[in-house]
Amino acid sequence: MFIESRQNQRVKRWKKLHKKKYRDQEQSFLVEGWHLIEEVLNSDWTPQELIVLEGIEYPTIWERYPIYTVTQAVFDEVSQTESHQGVLAVVSQNESDHKPTYHKLLLIDSVQDPGNLGTIIRSAVAFNIDAVVVGQDSVDLYNDKVVRSTQGALFHLPIIRDELSRWLDYCHNHNIKVYGTALDEQALSLSQVQPSEKYAVIVGNEGSGVSETLLNSADETVYIPIATKSESLNVGVATSIVLYHFSQAT
């Protein structure tokens, strides 16, 4: 189908997906660019529609889904990037159910920067985390900058948006040791922690870290020793270091 008017009702619906309110209502979100769309197609996530700028050639495998060819003006209306590649997809949200088979969990508390959340999700995939739980005070998982920052990792592991306290209960009930990241007097240096095959790590807000309530429910707190000239590490970098350490369990 060819669409040339920005006033088309379908175009208006696509544009509404720029806002979290409508992403939640529609249970869908936008994915932009060749790489991310291919990552969707190579996962168990489902494209609802593909949007292609007129004149762009696309793989024949895309024809198993509804395809809308649009004018430059329409594509510019829907795209959220300055230098777009001429391909978009509307994808159904695909959050995982609570399953008792998760032994390696990453809990994310109030991370606000989209780039940080995307980086953390990439690291979770790289270091074999079973599932990521994003607390309800964090930036929206389906924010376009988060989706792009994951570089497709979003589509390759279970991700749950939920109250983190529920997952702390889950961990305690399934003999999963919980480690909070913090700079308190009781915190262990990461090098002192012997990785095991069942663990959960809590990482927190860029400015205030993990909330005190969650830290009080952790079994241990850990920190990364750094040079005194450095005040702190970015939460995405710190999470990568911690997850690498825990991935070394024998």
Query: Closest by alpha carbon to 172, among 218, 129, 133?
Result: 218
Query: Closest by alpha carbon to 67, among 82, 87, 94, 38?
Result: 87
Question: Which domains does the chain possess?
Answer: 2-92 (3.30.1330.30), 104-246 (3.40.1280.10)
pLDDT digits (tens, 9 = 90+) for 37-46: 999 999 999 9
Rg (CA), the chain: 20
Distance from C-alpha of 178 to C-alpha of 173, rounded to nearest angstrom: 11
What the block records as the tokens of 109 is 């508390």
Residues 135, 107: contact at Cβ < 8 Å? Answer: yes
Q: Cα-Cα-Cα-Cα dihedral of 186, 192, 198, 200, to 10°? A: 40
Q: What is the pTM of this model?
A: 0.94
The model's confidence at residue 138, banded by pLDDT at 50, 70 and 90, is: very high
Q: State yes or no: pLDDT of 221 exceeds 70.
A: yes
pLDDT given at position 229: 67
pLDDT given at position 123: 98
Q: Would the CA dihedral through 82, 83, 87, 93 be positive or negative?
A: negative
**Placement of tokens 């702390």 in the chain:** 168
Distance from C-alpha of 140 to C-alpha of 19, rounded to nearest angstrom: 10
Q: State yes or no: pLDDT of 97 exceeds 70.
A: no
What the block records as the tokens of 205 is 């807000």
For residue 97, give the DSSP letter.
P
The model's confidence at residue 98, banded by pLDDT at 50, 70 and 90, is: low
Q: Which residues pair with 179 in a beta bridge?
A: 201, 220
Q: Which residues pair with 134 in a beta bridge?
A: 108, 161
